[in-house]
Chain A
Amino acid sequence: MTPRIKKLREKTLSVQPYISLERAELLTEFYNSPEANGLPIPIQRAKAFEYILLNKKLYVEDGELIVGERGPAPHATPTYPEICIHTESDLEILDTREKISFTVDARTRAKHLNTISPFWSGNSMREKIFASVDDNWKEAYSAGIFTEFMEQRAPGHTVLDEKIYKNGFRDFINKIDQVIAKLDFISDNEAVNKRNELNAMKITAEAVIKFSKRYSAYLTELSKNEKSPERKNELETMAGICERVPENKPNTFWEALQYYWFVHLGVITELNTWDSFNPGRIDLNMYPLYQRDLDSGLLDKDHAKELLMSFWVKFHNQPAPPKVGVTAQESNTYTDFCLINVGGVDERGQDATNDLTYLILDVIEDMRLLQPSSMVQISKKNPDKLVKRALDIIKTGFGQPSLFNTDAIIQEMLRQGKDIIDARLGGASGCVETGAFGKESYILTGYFNMVKILELTLNNGYDKRTKKQLGPETGVIEDFRNFQIFMTAFRKQLEYFIDIKIKGNRIIEKLWAEYLPAPFLSILVDDCISSAKDYNAGGARYNSSYIQGVGLGTLTDSLASIKHNVFETKSFTFAELKEKIDSNFDGDIDFRKILTDKSPKYGNDDNRADDLLIDIFEMYFQLIDGKPNTKGGQYRINLLPTTCHVYFGSVVGATPDGRYAGVPLSEGISPVQGADTNGPTAVIKSASKIDHLRTGGTLLNQKFTPDILSDESNKIKILHLIRTYFKLDGHHIQFNVVDANTLREAQKNPEMYRDLIVRVAGYSDYFINLGNDLQEEIIRRTEQEI
């Protein structure tokens, strides 16, 4: 790492994020100005975008090679009052909370409360949404049955393809003009709306070009005052780059990175899109320019690496816009879920890895930054070398990269009806979400608390926490004569709440389409230009809406416990079980032990549990998949929690699997913490009974200590483990390399860490099974390694 990158990296790691009102003030100024009056909404939005980009402060960090910030400086985090208005107490919480805080200074607070908030009050998307949804939606939402993504942040959930490396914004403008020229005002009722949308796109395209030229001028000015001849030269070069891109297509690797960065800033300035934005397959898409620059001698590998590292810092400079309320609990992090993809296959389905793939992996390892996050796509066509390189980085213990099965991702998209080439050029983004890059809007609409449905079924639709009859009356469980009756009741509850969620989603989709179009983002996603339709209104080639199921492991184990104990072994009656869970087991350790230790558990390749998992999956799939959204696409399922399993757990009482009230649910498709006692092959076998190919992503976590990967022969066996999971159509696996603190935690709470494998000496064993001395030794060793 060069000294200047080291400096940039240290700086981005040390700055405390803070709230900046720059964007909110410029936006409000624009909407207050006469110029905004009477404009069609898309044009108004586009002009506001332009106003922000033309008036915002420019910033160039000492020594950086890629320029541009979302705020007036790195880590200055904007608000989006047209979407969600922070209250005074929100600002107080942001400023003072212990974790993931954002400094809010006195001027900011005053300005926000005196000017911004009053102006937008009553007009924010959040308020529109809550005014438009039904009461039963609101009740279910408050009870923690589901969450809603779009009440604080904009639909985004999309990733860029190769189009910006082949087109400048001038080319996009020309395309837009061609479509405008062909509009049919005689017979197309939508022609006027289409023209507005296309003109809005054009305004934003011109705006981003002007923005880059402002930077060019600023860099020229800086270069004049620069004393170091090398930096002076560099600043002049950068000024030249910003003069050329994004107006024109990039001619060099450096231009390509800078071009993308302007695009990124445009997207995250226009709206606070979920998962920020993402260049996607940069090893595939930027390779031709990289190789050409190397061949011509314009670039060497070291310089390419330095450029990439400077690029990496730019992502890290933009913390996720702070959320409020429940959403803050769902995903309370500075991470904005930009997930760089490397590896995978090319448009012909061949191994897409190249030298740039490995250079990027070097950058990931050296930078060790939370953002951008990274993943490796692994197809059966990719070499083992790729997987081993990924494992070397995983071993260093910062949770990256995660590993994805390209072949499964492609099949998932084919099942959804996508073109095979679009599928091959896609990947996964956010946490684990499958998408056709540059061509799809794949919106996550909210997490769905499957365990809460179980609780409602156990209580005949009544929610004791909010003291309301939320669901239909599906029967008193004490009367249920067999397990099938219970499952039928569960299905009725599930269907009822899924329908509430979908109805709410369809209302919310329409609000976004009408009030907050995204003309800039629409330029970047096919086929918004040719269909003359906004990204938020269904302009993308593919439009998928997801409802993310949470708590699969807890639900499976709970159902298995009911089936096994109440109906098969008849260890106790439903009434007894209900009494115990209602009292949070009331200290009855023996009773709880039957649930935790003597009942079948998912994650052990045990069909008594896994068959129920299959039933639940089918139910959830049948009730959601294929239902239409309002954008010409369909509802789909995926199984991932981010951190929502913690919030969902907090609203669910004790469960029949022995889980105490309020404890987090299982996460993703991982087994309940500590329930898997037969090692990783059994977990993988259980997890692969889920039909991954009918989802748009699943998340599986496995824990290891770093030294298990330090032994070459073990590393190969982990490689085989991954290859086998992917052969069984697993979508994603992530190795959490645990640190010493986790091991200490495991010593204290062994029952939560029954699955934790450590390398001892020439062999591996479960950590909790080791003697205390040995545990201490391993903790010391782990402390040294990290």
Chain B
Amino acid sequence: MEVFNIKKFSLHDGPGIRTTFFLRGCPLNCIWCHNPESFRKLVGSKSCDTSESKNYGIDKIVEIAKQDLPFYEESGGGITFSGGEPLLQHKELIEALKRLKDEDIHTAIDTSGYADPDLFRNVVTNADLVLFDLKLYASKKHKEYTGVSNHKIIENFYQLSDNSVATYVRIPLIPKITDTEENLFALKELLLQNRSIRRLDLLPYNELADSKYKRLDINHEIAGLKTQNEIQLNQIKSIFEDVPFEITLRG
């Protein structure tokens, strides 16, 4: 498995205390992700910087995963595979998930949902939880901002419900791109059709690392965007008020 980072005591990638393996490679090319190492810091979501990775055999992955077993058991935590896009390494991923199931360790996959539907089903049915990123409902816009159409993503999203795979949905709130009322209402309709959702995490934009963009002059579209204020966040939250699952701001 190509892994570019391993984070223990990871607190925001699923329930409890977890160890997160960040796997290399991503098929998306999100516009807000051009300065990859800081993107994760912008929205508190997964990283897109996968350049420096190391190869781990499955045995090693399981060995590292087991190190914090007492913490998972105490806290209801486990392992999360994030990325990049972990499904790019689906073969090893399925094997790792099966091995961890044998060890009675809870597993989660943090995915963009962009994968071949058969392959996607094979992977997610071996995990205990899926953290599913939803960004934009409108397919055209999705392609414009992420480089790919969202058809597969939406199909896979339905598969989660069809196969009763417990799911946390995460929406990164990029100002004026994903946080528009139009987009959020549309995503909400989509969410309501999925019976497997346990939780929705709305991830506010964080302007703190913004100065870096200015300095590097990389992305004018992203530069200058401001963190949503409390009023805006409450408005956004109120859109999802009546959904039948838990909502969090900031995951």
Measured CB to CB, the residues of A under 8 A from B are 605, 678-682, 684-685, 713-714, 716-717, 720-721, 723-724, 727-728, 757, 760-765, 770-771, 773-774, 777
Contact = CB atoms under 8 A, between A and B. Distances in A.
A684 B43 CA distance: 29
A723 B251 CA distance: 23
Contacts of A723: 74
Contact of A720 (B12, B75, B206): B75
Given A679-B7, A679-B9, A762-B251, A770 B74 contact: no
Given A760-B206, A773-B212, 6 more contacts: A685-B70, A720-B75, A760-B41, A761-B250, A763-B251, A774-B41
Contacts of B43: 762
Contacts of B251: 762-763
A720 B77 CA distance: 10
Contact of A762 (B7, B75, B250): B250
B190 interface: no
8 contacts: A685-B67, A685-B70, A760-B41, A760-B208, A761-B41, A761-B208, A761-B250, A771-B41
Given A605-B67, A760-B44, A721 B212 contact: no
A764 B13 CA distance: 11
A185 B123 CA distance: 87
B70 A727 contact: yes
A211 B194 CA distance: 78
Contact of A717 (B11, B38, B206, B211): B11
B203 A773 contact: no
A761 B233 CA distance: 14
Interface in B1-30: 7-9, 11-12, 16-17
B92 interface: no
A773 B211 contact: yes
Contact of A681 (B71, B204, B208): B71
Given A760-B41, A762-B44, A762-B250, A721 B71 contact: yes
Closest 8 CB pairs of A and B: A762-B250, A762-B44, A720-B75, A679-B9, A763-B44, A724-B74, A679-B8, A761-B206
A208 B92 CA distance: 76
Contacts of B74: 720, 723-724, 727
A37 B171 CA distance: 87
A746 to B, nearest CB: 17
**Interface SS of A by simple majority:** helix
Contacts of B71: 681, 684, 720-721, 724
Interface string B203-241: 110101101100000000000000000000000000000
Interface in B171-211: 203-204, 206, 208-209, 211
Contacts of A727: 70, 74
A374 to B, nearest CB: 25
A770 to B, nearest CB: 7
Nearest to A761: B206
Contacts of A721: 9, 17, 71, 75
A605 B16 CA distance: 20
A717 B38 CA distance: 25
Contact of B203 (A681, A716, A717, A762): A762
Contacts of B77: 720
Interface of B: 7-9, 11-12, 16-17, 38, 41, 43-44, 67-68, 70-71, 74-75, 77, 203-204, 206, 208-209, 211-212, 249-251
A721 to B, nearest CB: 7
B108 to A, nearest CB: 15
Nearest to A680: B9
Contacts of B44: 760-763
A685 B19 CA distance: 14
Given A681-B17, A720-B74, A763 B12 contact: yes
Given A717-B16, A770-B41, A681 B11 contact: no
Contacts of A763: 11-12, 44, 250-251
A717 B8 contact: no
Nearest to A764: B11
Nearest to A708: B11
A681 B9 contact: yes
Contacts of A728: 70
A521 B6 CA distance: 55
Nearest to A777: B208
B17 A720 contact: yes
Contact of B208 (A680, A724, A773): A773
A261 to B, nearest CB: 41
A716 to B, nearest CB: 8
Contacts of B41: 760-761, 765, 770-771, 774
A59 to B, nearest CB: 51
A379 to B, nearest CB: 15
A763 B206 CA distance: 11
Contacts of A765: 41
Nearest to A716: B75
Contacts of A681: 8-9, 17, 67-68, 71
A774 to B, nearest CB: 5
Contacts of B12: 762-764
Given A762-B12, A773-B211, A717 B67 contact: no
Interface centre among A678, A680, A716, A765 (most CB of B within 10 A): A678
Contacts of B75: 716-717, 720-721, 724
A713 B74 CA distance: 14
Nearest to B250: A762
A763 B46 CA distance: 11
B68 A685 contact: yes
A777 B71 CA distance: 31
A716 B75 CA distance: 8
A773 B212 CA distance: 9
A761 B9 contact: no
A714 B44 CA distance: 15
Contacts of B211: 773
A757 B11 CA distance: 12
Nearest to A765: B41
A762 B209 CA distance: 14
A717 B14 CA distance: 12
Contacts of B249: 762
Contacts of A773: 208-209, 211-212
Contacts of A777: 208
Interface centre among A680, A684, A714, A717 (most CB of B within 10 A): A717
A95 to B, nearest CB: 48
A13 B204 CA distance: 44
A692 to B, nearest CB: 15
A37 B162 CA distance: 97
A723 B71 CA distance: 9
Nearest to A770: B41
A774 B209 contact: yes
B204 A761 contact: yes
Contacts of A762: 12, 43-44, 203-204, 206, 249-251
